[in-house]
Structure 1
Amino acid sequence: MRALRTVTPGPEVLPALRAALAGGDAILVGSPSPDLPAAVSQRVALVVETSGSTGTPKRVALAADALLASAAASESALGAPGQWLLALPTHYIAGLNVLTRSICAGTEPVVVAGPHFTADAFVEAARRMTIPERFTSLVPAQLATLLDDPAATATLTRFRRVLVGGQALPVPLRERADAAGIAVTRTYGSSETSGGCVYDGVPLAGVSVRVVAGEVQLAGPTLAEGYLGDEALTAERFVHDEGMTWFRTADTGTWHGTRLAIAGRLDDVLISGGVKVSLAAVERLLHAHGFPEAVVVKAADARWGEVPVAFVTGEHDTGPATAAIEAALGAAARPRFRRGSAIPLLPSGKPDRVSLQRNAGG
């Protein structure tokens, strides 16, 4: 067994992670919790609490071998080691991956200062980078913030590669980045896969992908050991087949040639008046028709059973988007709109879907 300790987000995370990868105490980055065990399996180096964007948070146990395999495969895909700019919280796997990659590359990561992400803070942090080969990892909301600022946009063009993940990357946002000359790579993965393990639809070296009954399943050296303290959920989500362990993502996807395309979640389909509606499909059409920050959830309805509810910002006319949704998906997919000044976000930058779901029926 290996001791497990909690590390407060801040400067001590990097040395604690370096020690954990070298065989020292396992760590969980976050706040102390009375139900956290004092020790874990000898293989476990890191425990990551999921964001809980769609439900109850889980504790994912990751081995050092998985984290190092992820860093090595990422470096190979990016074409070089380099210096990383840390713009994400270190209690999430994407932020911890930036530190792991830095440890493996032997470079010092530069941290974006401040309690909240801003374009000015990003630009200031980039000025402190000392190595020409520069990388960073962002969520789509952060990329949008930087693209709205000319100085930050110019700064991003000097990065060899900008990884964007954590949620779907809206096509209009990707197009804006491409037009600005920013080298963006869309990543797909989760805490259970040591973070992003599919880059622009292509699995990293050693990663296997299959689609079973519409569900994306992942295998390879980056997989987690399972869920800490939850053997039943581990057995349900990590299945053994064909001599391999596969992680059931609960995401739906299809192959476009040799590239994987994620369509949505298995649980994001509602039935309205007997008609199935994909919330992810409604969301994608809103993103493409003037509402790049839109988030769609389901709400109960006395007449139809369930209906899609779209949370949007701004005062744009919803008519063209609604018409496009009806034309593509049918009348049952027509959303009810809720307008606000901003979409509530989790600290990771993902939309707070749990909060939005609570307000969907109001």
Structure 2
Amino acid sequence: MPVLRALPLATGLALRDSLGDLVAMAAGAHCFLPVGDDPRAADRRLLESSLGVGSVVEDPQACLVIATSGSTGRPKGAIHTPATLAASADATHARLGGEGNWLLALPAHHIAGLQVLLRALRAGFTPVITDLRGGFNADRFAADIALLRGPRRYTSLVPPQLIAILASPAATAAAAGLDAVLIGGAATPRSVHDRARAAGIPIVRTYGMSETAGGCVYDGQPLDGVSVSIDDEGRVVLCGPMVAHGYHRRTDPAFGAPGSFRTDDLGTIDGGVLQIEGRADEAISTGGLTVAPHVVEAVLTADPAVAECVVVGLPDRRLGEQVAAAVVASPGRTPDVAGLRSRVADQVHRFAAPRRIVVVDRLPLLGPGKINRAAVRALLRSEAGETEPAAVD
């Protein structure tokens, strides 16, 4: 049985030194837990301890234990094998039109960034790496695209990066020259999606998670070999050869039959196209009405002054919960808070209109593009100076 080892993956160009380890991992020579080079060493030690670095992985084929970001912030370790990783890479290339080289612009210790590297390496290419020290820089990203060589050229981003690219003419033009730009991690606001398409950027919306070796549904349609269904509770169930073999050191009913994973996401399928309706644990009950955050978020981001937003429920003595929102302003714009409330009241319901809207510089994240809703709730409460549930007259 393989023994789990930590594999530190740099944020900068020193990541190139780890490519050989990734090739060996994908061939099954090692079983690694990728970890970042975050200076908060205590956080890394906690991650390595909770996921069992040094322990035996009870799967003889295991080559990767990848940490999930998880809505609670408590990671689990999804077990992958050379076969699950290869199935994911091959299905991606088949959907996109063929093997090619990849530009990494995401942290490599998360599944989305790791798969960028593994896809390029499996296709026989050396990936280009954007230096993320100090954060994502759209103009540097544009310069790195010029270094990308291959019969086809790809990258993978999260929505905030796409927003930054659209604010840079050079980056927008460079991204438009790629064969595909995968966008995952969180829902892309419709206004951003439309702007990217109008600029000629070939974006592909992806849906997946650590447990499925990254995206396995592109633009709402499953990759080859993947099937999608909705169970009796409305949750999305994903089946395919890239599904993890379970979690390291724990059992979970989410993994049913081999190759099957029951997600915490609610969804519908219309004409073979999957639509994610939000997470089962995110619904807000306010004044007797159940509000789906994604419905309110769609209305808010339709306003040109709003670049991004997240909607959460806050405790309320009278309503049970009140709807609240954190929004990021579009460059050079100032959101009209009263107007945003009216827009939601008119298009959804008056109880769905956020009673609290706070404009923030950025949204807190758990992983690349994945919103930390607990941190958003804490931020909204702290903005009002609250330590107890809010009372609304």
User: What is the 5 A alignment of 1:55-66?
Assistant: 55-66=73-84
Partner in structure 1 of residue 141 of structure 2: 122
For 1:260-297, what per-residue CA distance to the aligned partner results, in whole angstroms no more than 9, with x for missing partners?
Answer: 11111111111112211111211111111232311111
Partner in structure 2 of residue 339 of structure 1: 359
User: Percent same amino acid at aligned positions?
Assistant: 41
2: CA distance, partners of 1:304 / 1:358:
19
Which stretches in structure 1 are left out of the alignment for 5+ residues? none
1: CA distance, partners of 2:183 / 2:347:
28
Residue 5 in structure 1 maps to residue 5 in structure 2: yes
Structure-1-length-normalised TM-score: 0.94
Partner in structure 1 of residue 109 of structure 2: 91
For 1:2, the aligned partner's letter is: P
From 236, 241, 245, the equivalent of 1:221 is 241
2: CA distance, partners of 1:328 / 1:114:
40
Q: Is the 8 A contact 1:44 1:64 kept in 2?
A: yes
Partner in structure 2 of residue 29 of structure 1: 34
Residue 212 in structure 1 maps to residue 262 in structure 2: no
Partner in structure 2 of residue 261 of structure 1: 275
TM-superposed deviation, 1:127: 2.1
Residue 152 in structure 1 maps to residue 171 in structure 2: yes
TM-superposed deviation, 1:359: 2.2
User: What is the 5 A alignment of 1:284-323?
Assistant: 284-290=298-304, 291-314=306-329, 315-323=334-342
Q: What secondary structure sits across from 1:131 in the alignment?
A: coil
Q: Is the 8 A contact 2:221 2:274 kept in 1?
A: yes
RMSD: 1.6
For 1:226-285, what per-residue CA distance to the aligned partner results, in whole angstroms no more than 9, with x for missing partners?
Answer: 111111xx2x21123xxx643111111112212111111111111112211111211111
1: CA distance, partners of 2:49 / 2:182:
35
2: CA distance, partners of 1:102 / 1:283:
35
Structure 1 or 2: more strand by fraction? 1
Q: What secondary structure sits across from 1:136 in the alignment?
A: strand
Which stretches in structure 2 are left out of the alignment for 5+ residues? 36-43, 383-393
Q: Give the number of equivalent residue pairs.
A: 356
Q: What secondary structure sits across from 1:238 in the alignment?
A: coil
Q: What secondary structure sits across from 1:107 in the alignment?
A: coil
From 267, 271, 280, the equivalent of 2:294 is 280
User: What is the 5 A alignment of 1:101-116?
Assistant: 101-115=119-133, 116=135
For 1:159, the aligned partner's letter is: L
TM-superposed deviation, 1:21: 1.6
2: CA distance, partners of 1:92 / 1:326:
38
TM-superposed deviation, 1:37: 4.1
TM-superposed deviation, 1:53: 4.5
User: What is the 5 A alignment of 1:173-192?
Assistant: 173-192=192-211
TM-superposed deviation, 1:344: 2.8
Partner in structure 1 of residue 379 of structure 2: 359
TM-superposed deviation, 1:320: 3.5
2: CA distance, partners of 1:350 / 1:65:
27
Q: Is the 8 A contact 1:268 1:280 kept in 2?
A: no
Structure-2-length-normalised TM-score: 0.87
Q: Is the 8 A contact 1:301 1:307 kept in 2?
A: yes
1: CA distance, partners of 2:79 / 2:377:
29
Q: Is the 8 A contact 1:16 1:27 kept in 2?
A: no
TM-superposed deviation, 1:356: 0.9
